[in-house]
Chains A and B, each alone.
Chain A
Amino acid sequence: MNSLHTYLFIALVLFCIGLFGLLKRRSLIGMLISVELMLNAVGLNFMAFNRFLAPDPAVGQVAVLFIMGIAAAEAAIALSLILALFRKIRSINVEQARQLKG
């Protein structure tokens, strides 16, 4: 097992933990944290491929910077929506938000 595989494996584990958390958690903040884990797994993947395989060492780094920037915007939108939901139903548990059905 060379070191590229180690990184890829760690990223995959991180991604799966994130996905599991997203499906398992009922609190919206917990779900948001899980999403961040998944995004970081992607970043790790890009950096690992970039370091070991890519001829041009800048591409992966740029990709990771973009992902981090967009993840920040995403967190801002998610938190504001969670806040709006809390104001209305006094809870951030997804089980409580179930008026839409069918």
Chain B
Amino acid sequence: MAGDLMLFLPEAACLLMALTLFGLSLPKHQDQRRVHSWAMGLSLLMVAAGLAGLFQEGHLFFEAYRVDLFSQFFKLLLAVALLLVLGICRQLTGVEERYQPEFFLFLTTCTLGMMLMVSAVELMTLYVALELSSFSLYILVPLRSGDNIDVEAGVKYLFIGITASCLMLFGMSYIFGAVHSTYLARIADTLPLWIHQPGAVIGLLLTLSGFFFKLAAFPFHFWAPDVYQGAANQVTTYIATASKAAAVALLIRLTALSAGTSLYLLDVLMVLCVASMTLGNLAAMVQSDLKRMLAYSSVAHAGYALMGVLTMTRLGYSSAMFYTLAYMVMNFAAFMVVVKVASQGQDLKISDLAGLHRRAPLLALTLMLALFSLAGIPPTVGFTGKFLVFAAAMRDGHFWLVLVGMINATLSLYYYLMVIKAAYLTEPAEPQESLAITGPTRALNYALIAAMVALGLFPRQVLELTEKAVRNIF
């Protein structure tokens, strides 16, 4: 019993946090500072639980739930992402005061859903966990105060999301028909018998579509720009970091089932990868809203991550995991700057960044490094991540795919540099006062800069961990 609790430690901490926040959301008037302090404290506890549970292994709930290094790695990543996002929620200007306890509550339940999702090895468990995280996000998006674009974004997100989950369920039903079981282990065992039936491959592909939606990969990327723009900046940060990590985890787990034996699956994944990269980068070029631009760039990055996934080799998977970590760090850094610069919780145009290097030199530096990293310039973590993914794809013989990826990386440099130009070279039309940066923010900035450079130069430790983690899923 105690052993089981140890296996369930990160989720238990998350559940505890959700229940506490639920309790705090009940009184009519609640001091926002107090709720935020509670949330920060509990989420620190959750990161500690994630660290303590990192090397646990075992099964729970009638084998429907598997705890291994792979799942624990992602759980730790999710816990850290939640902590970071909560860290920039001290001044929640984008959300109405009376909804703020709920805001923290739904962030937590969403994290809980994703934690359950990365451990689920049974289709129904997977579905319920996925919906727990999606439903929380459907509510978080329209919580923004002010104009009504938030509700519009929420409605769009909801309808695209439930369509994707319907397709996913339809796919699951065909897999159930082919295998007569909902356990992933059983599906992998009987795979050689059914992988060449067209119905089953369609089933697997449709099942993946639920996670393409989460990842904002083509053809389920439509929601990304609208939701990124419409949601409060902090929520966007969360969607852009944590939610992507969980999606990559599940894509790895599900594609690993076929172990590279299905050529159809490979072809489809390659098409989606190329389409995501190209479409995302081309659309990002013409954006004037910073969050919309970052949304399209996230579509492109979904393509890069897919490149690692579609090799379906250990090397490819471990580099995709590293890329996810890299993406989380650099994207969080970029969004942190957005949140800090938009001090009233407003949307930022790229031109609003003018003169940032004088208003807040540290934020400008973090932004520059984050964007260089997103573009894949050494010595940042984004370069190392891209290099690993491309190298894995190259070793698997996807020369053309890597070439398209390279061209895309060059294209993306254009719009990232436009932002850096706005922040460093353009002078604002009217002089603006400098931004006040508090001590914790300063520390967070230094930590992010250090993480982006250190992970870029010395990826070995993390890579060893991801390689070990990937061994668990085959």
- Pair B169/A78 contact, Cβ less than 8 Å: no
Contact of A81 among B149, B158, B172, B292 (CB under 8 A): B158
Confirm or deny: B182 has a beta carbon within 8 angstroms of a beta carbon on chain A. Answer: yes
- The answer to whether residues A42 and B180 also contact, given A77-B139, A100-B230, A102-B225 and a CB cut-off of 8 A, is no
Q: Which residues of B contact A50 (CB under 8 A)?
A: 176
Confirm or deny: A1 has a beta carbon within 8 angstroms of a beta carbon on chain B. Answer: no
Confirm or deny: A9 has a beta carbon within 8 angstroms of a beta carbon on chain B. Answer: no
- Pair A49/B166 contact, Cβ less than 8 Å: no
Contact of B151 among A19, A74, A88 (CB under 8 A): A88
- If over half of B's interface residues share one DSSP class (helix, strand or loop), that class is named, otherwise mixed; here it is helix
Q: For residue A8, which residue of chain B has the nearest CB?
A: B177
- Pair A77/B148 contact, Cβ less than 8 Å: no
Confirm or deny: A67 has a beta carbon within 8 angstroms of a beta carbon on chain B. Answer: yes
- Pair B182/A77 contact, Cβ less than 8 Å: no
Q: For residue B169, which residue of chain A has the nearest CB?
A: A42
Q: Which residues of A contact B156 (CB under 8 A)?
A: 97, 100
Q: Which residues of A contact B139 (CB under 8 A)?
A: 77
Q: Which residues of B contact A63 (CB under 8 A)?
A: 123-124, 176, 182
- Pair B154/A66 contact, Cβ less than 8 Å: no
Q: For residue B136, which residue of chain A has the nearest CB?
A: A77
Contact residue range for chain A?
35 or more
- The answer to whether residues A15 and B162 also contact, given A74-B131, A74-B135, A81-B138 and a CB cut-off of 8 A, is no
Query: How far in angstroms is the closest Cβ of chain B from A32?
Result: 8
- Pair A18/B155 contact, Cβ less than 8 Å: no
Q: Which residues of A contact B230 (CB under 8 A)?
A: 100
- The answer to whether residues A67 and B169 also contact, given A74-B162, A99-B148 and a CB cut-off of 8 A, is yes
Q: Which residues of B contact A11 (CB under 8 A)?
A: 173
Q: For residue A63, which residue of chain B has the nearest CB?
A: B124
Q: For residue B183, which residue of chain A has the nearest CB?
A: A59
> Interface residues of B, CB < 8 Å — how many?
42
Query: How far in angstroms is the closest Cβ of chain B from A73?
Result: 6
Q: For residue A88, which residue of chain B has the nearest CB?
A: B148
- Pair B173/A45 contact, Cβ less than 8 Å: yes
Interface hits, A26-83 → B, CB 8 Å: 28, 31, 35, 38-39, 41-42, 45-46, 48-50, 53-56, 59-60, 62-63, 66-67, 70, 73-74, 77-78, 81-82
Query: How far in angstroms is the closest Cβ of chain A from B99?
Result: 12
- Pair B128/A70 contact, Cβ less than 8 Å: yes
- Pair B287/A102 contact, Cβ less than 8 Å: yes
- Pair A35/B153 contact, Cβ less than 8 Å: no
Query: How far in angstroms is the closest Cβ of chain B from A78?
Result: 6
Alpha-carbon gap, A54 to B180, bound state (A) = 5
Q: For residue A46, which residue of chain B has the nearest CB?
A: B173
A54, A99, A102 — most chain B CB neighbours (10 Å): A102
State the 5 A-B residue pairs at the shortest beta-carbon distance, nearest first.
A45-B173, A88-B148, A49-B177, A38-B166, A100-B226
- Extra 14 A-B pairs, beta carbons < 8 Å, given A22-B163, A62-B124: A8-B177, A15-B170, A35-B163, A39-B166, A45-B174, A46-B173, A63-B124, A67-B169, A73-B131, A77-B138, A81-B151, A81-B155, A89-B148, A100-B225
- B contacts, CB < 8 Å to A: 123-124, 127-128, 131, 135, 138-139, 142, 147-149, 151-156, 158-159, 162-163, 166, 169-170, 172-174, 176-177, 180-182, 225-226, 229-230, 286-289, 292
